[in-house]
A and B are shown apart, each in its own frame.
Chain A
Amino acid sequence: MKNAGKSFYIFIAILLAFIGWGGFNWLRFLSHGPGLTGSSDVVPWGIYISGLAYFIGVSAGATIVGLLIHAFGRHDYEPVGIRAILLGLLCIFGATQFVLVDLGVPFRGLKVPIILHNLTSLFLISSSSYYGFMAILSGELYFSIKVATGKASERDKKMAKWLGIIAVPYALWIVHAFTGSIFGVVKAREMWNTPMLPVHFVISAIASGFAMVILVAVITSKVEKRDLLSNETLNHMGKILAFFVLLTLFLDFFDYFILRYSAKKEAMEGWHILTGRYLPIFLINEGGLILSLLILTFKKGRTANGLLLATSIIQVAIIAYRIDLVSVGQLAPLFPGMGELYYHPTLSEISVALGLIALVILLYAVLSKVLPMEETAPEPVYASRGLGKTLWKKNKKRYMEVRN
């Protein structure tokens, strides 16, 4: 591996330790039963489904960079282009692993997205769409790397461009909005059953995914001690991010506002739990978004350091939103008199989640070293003369004469 120092290997060792801890605990789930997690019959879905929603969101949001490069012609984003694709691919992989560890009988679940058992199940539709998304992102990654290493034909360049553009509606509409609909169609749970939910999911996905790309870019610049992106590009990224954070806040506000005035008593109870016993998570979610928006409004906040802070806060806030939605959304009892419901994740449950996050980080760290992430082709002679490639080919003989 090129330019991998001692600290890199220490980092990898720490990640491996987390993966080992999580993997050990997952094996315990398989042998003893999923009772080692904090989920229960009253709160069937815990942090793993929150993790699924979060990782799908990051994956879908990261495709926005491809759209900016290929459709809007922002070629200054190109240094993070391949990084964003790789991030998207690894995050969708991580999301499927979150589903896998949540299943009671995981190895039966592997074939579900391929064999279409029950098409009315949103779980089936969205998990099948993850496979298609992985295929699109893999193709995009392959062609983009070909372009970056200078081995691409014109057709390959077109493929990279169009896959990058197609990935965005596919990710936002099919992958992530359907993941939001998994919760949206559940009429038994008042906090989930709203047509706003797919929209809310998509917007918060763009916020978290785009923020994650910026975070990765800034960290890469810091680690490699060079400027991956220019200050103008960072400024522009910060502005786009601020817009989507604002939209997320807007949707959050009206989602909870309508919930507060809902006709259903379950919704009232949900609102009381959200702002009562589970207030800290709610505050982290909303406070984090407001704080990051404040940082991003100032020009100083849209520099490398400011963005590092703001995007990290956004990640924490969006994770809090997913936990609020998935777990706290189930805490309103279905019948009065069922008692006070709670959900506390256990240490082994958290360790598996940390192990999966470490796995995604490890894969990213290794693959971003192995694969070419930016244009590495040596500058051809003609480029320095300010001539296009076609022009060079056409008048090759004359130029050679001039040079000699």
Chain B
Amino acid sequence: MKKLDRREFIKLASAAGGGFLMPDPLKVLNDAVGQLLGTKKKPASEYYPEPVTGARFGMVIDLGKCIGCRRCMYACKRENNVPDTISPPYIMVFETESATGVTGHFASPEMMGKGTTMFYTKLRKDKWYMPVQCNHCDNAPCVQVCPTGASYKDPDGLVLIDYDKCIGCRYCMTACPYGARRFNWWEPHVSRDRRNPLVPMRRHGVVEKCTFCVHRTRRGKFTRCVEVCPNKARTFGNFNDPDSKVSKLIESERNFRLKEGLNTEPRIWYLTKPKEKRMRWYRPLPPPKNIRGVKS
């Protein structure tokens, strides 16, 4: 018999333990078949560091502090070797009005393109700004629909993609309610001197998305978007630790998550604090250009 390693043991134990609490026969059958056929291989650890034991990562974004400067968008693009052919990069920033709501729910057709936009070029203090990226959902629809198991959920809360397993069927892209996933329509080119050696390059025909900077966060650093945010609107941390900053923030402040009605259990919380009076307003970086499938 094959020897179980730690991760497989945790997986099996959690599957067995979860069976008592919340029986999902399909999931149990799925794991059993995977074990039998040996297709449930280890996730691509050659790309990513091992998951942090006992951690449950997540992010809190304070909308009262976000000024929509798009610095997170461009820093993320640089950090994760996102080529220019992928537009918009992993993070989209929307400018919304309080009338249409900052919750990311839909504006009426008459308001389409009027109230809310991601193509703003000037900052306005009467508007709200909301960055949207992969939510690393606990109940991720993309993981559920992936036919090869290339998209998977790690025990520390990250939803990752194994680029060697992805067949490029794009089912996950249609299933994602947040539009967070990007497809490599062309061979991605990032010049050698700008490339981050910690992040693997993808090939054309596979799907990619925000990884919560797995190469940084699993080595004890913050994500790049948290680091560059000039107003400290973003906070990253471990929700399993009750003393961590993120746990305290969502305990004490009013918050929401995007499209909660879909039962995806996102791991990004948005705080609805009033706008800070003393904030530094930076000029925004240019909006994303040449988006496939969007009339400009």
Contact = CB atoms under 8 A, between A and B. Distances in A.
A119 B26 CA distance: 7
B135 interface: no
A44 B170 contact: yes
Contacts of A335: 92, 94, 104, 116, 118, 132, 178-179
B174 A186 contact: yes
Contacts, number: 210
A264 B106 CA distance: 8
Bin chain B's interface residue count. 35 or more
Contact of B100 (A38, A122, A189, A336): A336
A272 B179 CA distance: 21
Nearest to B109: A272
Contacts of B203: 105
A339 B177 contact: no
B250 interface: no
A258 interface: no
A339 B294 contact: yes
A32 interface: yes
Contacts of B175: 186-188
A38 to B, nearest CB: 8
B181 to A, nearest CB: 7
A213 B148 CA distance: 35
B106 A42 contact: no
A268 B29 CA distance: 38
Contact of B106 (A43, A106, A269): A269
Query: Chain A contact residues (Cβ within 8 angstroms of B): what range?
Result: 35 or more
A44 B30 contact: no
A245 B117 CA distance: 43
Contacts of A343: 293
A334 interface: yes
Contacts of B178: 334-335
A189 B26 contact: no
Interface in B77-106: 85-86, 92, 94-96, 100, 104-106
B128 to A, nearest CB: 12
Contacts of A118: 30, 146-149
Given A105-B168, A336-B100, A41 B92 contact: no
B199 interface: no
Nearest to A128: B147
Highest count of chain A CB atoms <10 Å: which of B96, B167, B207 = B167
Nearest to A329: B174
B264 to A, nearest CB: 8
B141 to A, nearest CB: 6
Contacts of B27: 120
B183 A188 contact: no
Interface string A89-121: 000000000010011111011001001111111
A53 B247 CA distance: 46
Interface string A120-142: 11111001000000000000000
B145 A120 contact: yes
A335 B93 CA distance: 11
A264 B261 CA distance: 11
Contact of A41 (B107, B113, B148, B182): B182
B107 to A, nearest CB: 4
A32 B185 CA distance: 9
B184 interface: yes
Given A104-B183, A105-B167, A336 B106 contact: yes
A44 B185 CA distance: 10
B166 interface: yes
Contacts of A105: 166-168, 203, 205-206
Interface of A: 32-35, 38-45, 99, 102-106, 108-109, 112, 115-124, 127, 182, 185-189, 264-266, 268-269, 272, 330, 333-343
Q: Which 8 pairs from chain A and chain B are nearest by CB?
A: A104-B168, A104-B205, A40-B293, A265-B106, A40-B292, A35-B185, A337-B116, A33-B204
Interface of B: 26-27, 29-30, 33-34, 37, 39, 85-86, 92, 94-96, 100, 104-109, 111-113, 115-119, 132, 141, 144-149, 165-171, 173-179, 181-187, 203-207, 262, 291-296
